[in-house]
Homo-oligomer: A and B are copies of this chain.
Amino acid sequence: MSKIEPRTLSGFMELMPNEQVLFNYVKEQITSTYEQYGFYPLDTPVIEDGAVLLAKAGGETEKQIYRAYHNNPVDENLVLRFDLTVPLAKYVAKNYNSLSFPFRRYQVGKVYRGERPQKGRFREFYQCDIDIIGDGALSIINDAEIPSIIYSIFKKLGFHAFKIQINNRKILSGLLFGLNIEESRHSDVLHILDKIKKIGPEKTKDELLSFIDSKAVNLILNLVSSQESTDNKIAYLKSLSVDNELYNLGTTEIEEVVRCIRLFGVPDEYFEIDFSIVRGLDYYTGTVYETFITGHEEIGSVCSGGRYENLAGYYTDKKLPGVGISIGLTRLFDKLKDIFETKKNTVDDVLIVSADSCYESCLTIAASARSVGLNAEVYVEDARLKSKLKRASKLGIPFVIIIGEDERKSAKVILKDMFKNEQYTLELQSALEKIKNNKKI
């Protein structure tokens, strides 16, 4: 029979078993932190009604949509989700009367985008989102909690140096009003500032000068390029005494956010104010976040988000302000898997093998190992002892318990430490204890 080549589509991540263990470990650090902060899991369908999910989409988003059908592509308007925010909006609007607000949810799931295939671009990728949704109003303290969650996660993942950059969209918007810059040009200014790290301050200045007077340009550039301390940046904001309500609200908010971030226990070296951060022009209205791993800034922000006025305006009249972040796990893993401090890449704590072909005692030993909380495999295939030990090496299993005739007679086991390449003859309980203690370290 002719064979079909077993391919996996490009742009779709599929990991080897040891990598998958590490991936799941990283995912687990993220979700357990979300739960520590009292977020509830949500799992929405991958397929949704296009009429619902694309209510808001347009332009670039719409072009990237994957569509699905069962019988007929023309009659069925089914789409694969392209993010976890629109499904959240649908869910909250749909279940408004049953939910307790603020609604704190996390969702970790795959989303689909028809990206052009190129290295490091994924068409199927995990997003790990949290959002806090208020009913009508939502305290600014929530905006300060988010960075403390980001801090906890990246610390847990073993990153020693990273920076959470914070801004408040109201500040720049208010400043532009305060400087009497025509409202129709505001988005142009923000677009230009959004690129400042890419094109540099000189080019930014030139572009701004084409439609704003130099005094205003200098003021804006002074602000967004400031290298001062967090507190000095806030003091500077206040010193400008801009006569605009939005500006003053933004200033008050960022000051309160910084005060509370510190109360949440985030050390100053892990966050900073960066007035150049804009992010999605239409969506965020207050605090915004980006996160950069020190020394790996080239991969871009690994965790971003912000505050929005209204989550679900397309579905409901209820005003639902929120704040949230997203971690693009697939890309993060792809780029940084080699530098995660942890090297967890095996499921098994112990492999149990027979020195001969007598498996009975192996099965009961495995049951004992599992009953004390260890993950254990019994090697039951016919093979030489050497091949059995090779399996442990290949899978990275730290210990092997070996049973032969002598051990069965003496009611002991041989415990082989694969990393130290040492072996001991012990009673079973002592061997299991040793494996357990090793696991705790």
Q: Which residues of A contact B (CB under 8 A)?
A: 1, 3-9, 12-18, 20-21, 23-24, 35-49, 51-52, 55, 64-71, 73, 78, 80, 89-91, 93-95, 98-100, 102-105, 110, 112, 114, 123-124, 134, 137-139, 141-142, 145, 148, 152, 260, 263-265, 312-317, 347-348, 351, 359-360, 363-364, 367, 370, 374-378, 380-382, 391, 394-395
Contact = CB atoms under 8 A, between A and B. Distances in A.
A9 B49 contact: yes
B45 A314 contact: no
Contacts of A37: 370, 375-377
A362 to B, nearest CB: 9
Contact of A55 (B4, B52, B91): B4
Contacts of A78: 9
Contacts of A123: 47
A49 B3 CA distance: 15
B381 A139 contact: yes
A431 to B, nearest CB: 17
Interchain residue pairs A-B with the least CB separation, the first 10: A38-B377, A70-B114, A73-B73, A12-B45, A17-B40, A141-B380, A6-B94, A6-B93, A6-B315, A6-B90
Contacts of A100: 391, 394-395
A328 to B, nearest CB: 16
Given A6-B91, A7-B49, A14-B91, A114 B375 contact: no
Contacts of A49: 7-9
Most chain B beta carbons < 10 A, residue from A90, A317, A382: A90
Contacts of A89: 6
Most chain B beta carbons < 10 A, residue from A5, A67, A264: A5
Contacts of A264: 363, 367
B66 A73 contact: no
A377 B90 CA distance: 24
A253 B410 CA distance: 31
Contact of A40 (B20, B42, B93, B112): B20
Contact of A24 (B41, B139, B315): B41
B48 A315 contact: no
Nearest to A124: B45
A60 to B, nearest CB: 14
Contacts of A348: 38
Contacts of A66: 47, 68-70
A94 B15 contact: no
A43 B67 contact: no
A42 B102 CA distance: 35
A286 to B, nearest CB: 15
B45 A8 contact: yes
Contact of A21 (B41, B73, B145, B382): B41
A152 to B, nearest CB: 8
Contacts of A38: 347-348, 351, 375-377
Contact of A139 (B3, B137, B382, B394): B382
A232 to B, nearest CB: 24
Contacts of A370: 36-37, 152
Contacts of A395: 40, 100
A3 B380 contact: no
